[in-house]
Structures are given as structure tokens and as C-alpha cells.
Chain A
Amino acid sequence: MSLIPTASQTVGPYLHLGLTPITIADIAKDAGKGEKIVISGRVLDGEGQPIPDALLEFWQANADGKYAHPDDTQDKPLEGKFIGFGRVPTDKDGRFSFTTIKPGAVPGPGNSLQAPHIVVCLFMRGMLKHLYTRIYFSDEQAANANDPVLGLIEDAARRPTLIAERQNDKAEYRWDIVMQGENETVFFDC
């Protein structure tokens, strides 16, 4: 049997009514180990205007590089409460912020290792289907250079759009999402 997957439709302008009752902006408190970090930034449209009606969901491994999911069969520990999922809306200035722990490296295709990263699923009014992108970390240069997914981005000049910039010595990263234009964020067809 082969059914057609149900088509996506926009979250529309009233997404908060349905999606923010479950808001998860801090998952560091559920982690037993790992560096606590804050990632914040803005979501901007094709004219550089902030997008106040967007929502980010994020998904990541724990500090050991293990996902809390049965398909991750690695022999690595899971922490009791740590799921690795969060959800935050943007505010009236298009800003978002969330607190987590820096994930460990996870396996990639073949024998490769993926650099520490967070998968982001983006929703907004004006978008008929969600988009996937990824957050990598500026202080993981060597791992990023060998990352098999960053390597899929043919135009190397676009890779930095996925790299969150660590702010000096603080465990705070800055990462913006730009929908269009010269600095358009890399989105994945997956």
C-alpha cells in the first residue's frame, strides 16, 4: 500500500495559540553533563526585517553524542531526563534564545564523524512548509572542517551561515537565520 503523505500547510499568524503551550527554552537543566550554553539570534526576512511570527524547534544529542531515540544504537549512556528537544518562538523583534548543553559528535555516513551540531526545524507565517537547517559551533573548527554535512554545501562561502559564533570567553553563541539575500542561511532538502 502506498498513501500520499498529508501536505504541509503554514502555521499561520496564530501559531502561538497551538505551539507555544509546549515551549521548551532550557534543556540544560535536564542534562547530567556537558557545557551549558546559550544560543540566541534573530530571524530576518528578504528585506532584513525581523520575523516576529516564527518558531524554532531544535533536536540534538547529549554531551556524549547519543540521541534519546531507539534508532541510536550506540553503546553510550543516556541521561534520565535529557531528551534533546526544545521549542522557542521569536519575539516582536524576531529574536529567539534557548539554553542547552553543547552536544557531542555523532556518527555520520560510513565511518565518518559529524561535528557537534543541533538540527533546527523552522516554522513561520508565510512559509507553507517547515525548513530544516543546522547549528554548528565556531570553536569546533577542526571538527567542522571534516564534517560530512557541511561538506555537502558546494559553495563553501555559505557554510559560515550554519556556524554559531562564540561570544569571547562566555558560553554564549550568536546565530541568525536569514531567509533570503547574500547571507541567506543554508537550508537542507531532507
Chain B
Amino acid sequence: MTNVVGYKRPRAGTQPNYLHPPYQSSIKRAPRKPLVLLPHTLSEVTGPLFGHDLIGQNDNDLTKQHAGEPIGERIIVSGRVLDEDGRPVPRTLIELWQANSTGRYRHALDQHDAPLDPNFTGYGRTVTDAEGRYRFVTIKPGAYPWRNHHNAWRPPHIHFSLFGPSFMTRLVTQMYFPGDPLLPFDPIFNCVTDQRARDSMISSFDLDTTIPEFALGYRWDIVLRGRNATPFEE
């Protein structure tokens, strides 16, 4: 067996800690014992690869999944998936979920007193193209309250899940919107201490992908872990 080339480890402050007391649910769920350092083996650097056959016709257009049009501000979210060396990540699965324009999720546990929209599910998926590009048409999600602390509101966000080329590049994150007044108060957004890493979760408004008379464009690039250059860099 030749040596396996592993994936790079995160720089300090660029990823959240498991225990983050301002996010109360982390207190009983974060591991308390130190994690065991694992240099990557073949089991880590491999992982599931998905193809376009998983994707149905309206899976990346959340405004066309029902008989009627959903209520709310139509938006186009697009960008590229790159690795940390700037190389595109082609043909990788992206799954996405979000609240509707009133801040309500189509989920049995969501008790927020805001209306559901019969024309909006809030789920989509796509596969990046050969240049790592993706694109969704959706509705801008609303803010919603949660019970983490007094008067706690989540800033509007879209949940993203990505795979990349190995099980080590797995990422679940949230995309936020520029200029949102709730961001400074959100313990989930602020769990990332490195400001550049934190701000990279905020999309930017983009006139180039905005479609006249139709929808506002937001651009958001997603960066997955990159690979070491040699097997001995761990």
C-alpha cells in the first residue's frame, strides 16, 4: 500500500468548537473528552461520489415544485464550490433546506406562529458542473424565533450540505445574507472566531446574476478542505 495523501487540517478559529455555551444545545451534546488525532487512512480519503442521476427536473428551482408560485421575494443563489487551493470541485452533490418567506419550516417540529406556504417545501438539491458551479432559484427565507435566549431570532439563512471528493471534505453549513441586522446577535453565526472565516458565510448581492423583472441574484462560493501536497504533511 502506498502512502495515502490526507486532507489539510483547519487553521485555528476558522471552524467552530463543539462546546460553544452561547449555543445552549451544545452543552449536553459536545464531546468533553479530547478527540483522538487520526492521520488519514484509505477509509478517510475515500467517500461517496454522486452523479447527476440523483437530480430531478425542478430540484434546483424551489419556486417550481408545486402547482402555484410561492409567496416571497424570488432570489437566485449561485456560486462555485472550490477547494482551499482554489480548484473547482466538479460533480459534487449539494443539498439545501430553508424556511419559507415567513420564517416557517415545513417540518412537524416547527411551532413558529407563521403561515406555511402550500407552494413551498424549502428543499432542493443539485450537482455542481465541471467547473464547480451551482445555481438555485428559491424564495428569500424569513427570520425565525428560537428559544436559545431571550428574544432570540435566527438571521435569514439557507442550510447547505456538501460532500466533495472524500468523506473528509463533508460540510454542512449555512449561508447568510449581506447587511443583516440579526447577524451580530446570532450565537450560531458567531461561533466562528476568525472574522474572515465568519464573514465568508455571508453571500453577496450580485447585479450580474440578477434577472430583470424576475429575481435578485446572490453569489456565494463554498470552499471545501484541500489536499496535502505529500503524504507526510499531516
Residues in chain A within 8 A of chain B (CB atoms): 1-19, 21-22, 45-47, 49, 51, 53, 57, 59, 61, 67-69, 71-74, 83-85, 106-111, 114, 117, 119, 121, 123-132, 134, 148-149, 152-154, 158, 179-181, 184-190
A38 to chain B, nearest CB (A): 21
Which chain B positions have C-beta within 8 A of A57? 170
Contacts A59-B43, A128-B17; A17 near B29 (Cβ below 8 A): no
Q: A4-B84, A9-B173, A21-B123 are in contact. Are A188 and B36 (CB under 8 A)?
A: yes
Q: Give 21 A-B contacts (CB < 8 Å), ordered by A residue.
A: A3-B84, A6-B201, A6-B224, A7-B201, A9-B159, A9-B189, A12-B159, A13-B110, A14-B107, A22-B125, A61-B43, A69-B47, A71-B4, A109-B39, A128-B16, A152-B36, A154-B36, A180-B29, A184-B32, A189-B34, A189-B37
- Residues in A with CB closer than 8 Å to B43 are 59, 61, 67, 106, 114, 117, 119, 134
Q: How far is the CA of A61 from the CA of B43 in the complex (A)?
A: 8
Main DSSP-derived SS at the B contact region: loop
Query: In the complex, which residues of chain A have a beta carbon less than 8 angstroms from the beta carbon of B35?
Result: 131, 187-189
Check if B36 sits within 8 Å of A184, measured CB to CB: no
A2 CA to B14 CA, complexed, in Å: 13
Chain A residue, CB-CB nearest to B169: A5
- If A4-B84, A6-B201, A21-B123 touch, whether A187 touches B36 (CB-CB below 8 Å) is yes
As a 0/1 sequence over residues 16 to 46 of chain B, the CB contacts with chain A under 8 angstroms (1 = contact) are 1110100101111111111111111111111
Docked complex: B44-58 residues within 8 A CB-CB of A: 44-49, 54
In the A-B complex, the 8 residue pairs with the smallest Cβ-Cβ separation, listed nearest first, are: A18-B97, A126-B25, A85-B48, A69-B46, A128-B16, A189-B35, A107-B1, A1-B86
Asked if A121 meets B170 with Cβ closer than 8 Å, knowing A5-B224, A187-B36, the reply is yes
Question: Contacts A4-B197, A7-B173, A130-B172: A14 and B110 contacting too (C-beta < 8 A)?
Answer: yes
User: Do the beta carbons of B170 and A130 come within 8 Å of each other?
Assistant: yes
Q: A130 to B82, alpha carbons, bound, how many Å?
A: 20
Say whether B222 contacts A6, CB under 8 Å: yes
Contact between chains at A3 and B82 (CB < 8 Å):
yes
Per-position binary interface string of chain B over residues 191-232, scored 1 when its CB falls under 8 Å from any chain A CB and 0 otherwise: 110101110110000000000000000000011111000000
Tell me if B159 and A11 are in contact (CB < 8 A). Answer: yes
Residues from chain A with a CB closer than 8 A to the CB of B23 are 10, 126, 128
Docked-complex contact A127 and B173, CB < 8 angstroms: no
Partner of A3, one of B4, B168, B223: B223
The closest CB in chain B to the CB of A120 belongs to B167
In the complex, how many angstroms separate the beta carbon of A89 from the nearest chain B beta carbon? 12
Q: Would you call A14 and B105 a contact (CB within 8 A)?
A: yes
Name which of A10, A15, A59 has the most chain B CB atoms within 10 A of its CB. A10
